[in-house]
Amino acid sequence: MLSRTKLLLLAVVLLLIAIPVAYACLTWTVRDPLRFRLLGHGGPVTATEPLLGTPIQLMRFDLEVQNTSSVPMHVFTLYVTSDVQSDIAPGVFVRQGVTPTYAGWHREHALPEPVPARGTARLTCYMPGESPSVLTTVQPGVGYDGMTQTQVRFMTWLDAVYDYIAFMEDYLPSFDGQQGAAPLEIPGTLSVPSSPVHAVPAP
């Protein structure tokens, strides 16, 4: 009888361990989780180029980020890409509602909160130029660096206990999160706006 009780307790303990391990394995990484859609544009606005201190014109583009996965995604870096224009500026990304400060060609932590699972977030991208064509005519995509919520939780735990396991540093796993890119969906035809923001109608 005692042996049966011990086996039952062991089974319960193993089950309790297996559940979070299985969850971590299933949610550690997701394939191509993000989609990007242009919602509208405005501008141009004048900013100061950080290196030379000269004025520069920036076009404003409002974007929506969609997370198609079942895991929240933390996005750390965003940048514009193009297969037809290799020297395209990576853009200045800020979360929607933030007044831009031209601090470089891209800005980290534009999305301080994770994009919810099966959810969306909005942000603004500023591109050098005086016309929407700087973005709408180059078959743009958006590249990103990020982590799943599971990866972030693991890194947070690792930071908390690092002082106690520093001697195992050579044996600890290392990773750079997830990198990827997705085309920027541009619904309809955009033209230079007559008002500060030109909304794009949904298809």
Is 137 within 8 Å of 84 (Cβ atoms)? no
pLDDT at 98: 62
Q: Of all residues in the chain, what percent carry a pLDDT higher than 70?
A: 78
Dist CA 143 CA 136 (whole Å): 16
pLDDT at 105: 42
Three-class secondary structure of residue 65 per DSSP? strand
Length of the chain: 203
pLDDT at 171: 73
- CATH number (2.50.20, 2.40.240, 1.10.3210, 2.60.40) of 31-187 reads 2.60.40
pLDDT at 173: 67
More confident position, 28 or 126: 126
Q: Is the pLDDT of residue 133 over 60?
A: yes
pLDDT at 201: 41
Q: Is the pLDDT of residue 70 over 60?
A: yes
More confident position, 109 or 83: 83
Domain ranges of the chain: 1-29, 31-187
Q: Is the pLDDT of residue 75 over 60?
A: yes
pLDDT in tens, 148-177: 988 888 888 877 777 777 777 777 766 778
Say how many C-beta atoms besides its own lie within 10 A of residue 93's C-beta.
25
Q: Is the pLDDT of residue 111 over 90?
A: no
First-to-last CA distance in the chain?
A: 68
Dist CA 59 CA 62 (whole Å): 10
Q: Is the pLDDT of residue 51 over 80?
A: no
Dist CA 148 CA 71 (whole Å): 7
**CA-closest candidate to residue 106, choices 162, 70, 145:** 145
Q: Is the pLDDT of residue 199 over 70?
A: no
More confident position, 23 or 176: 176
pLDDT at 190: 56
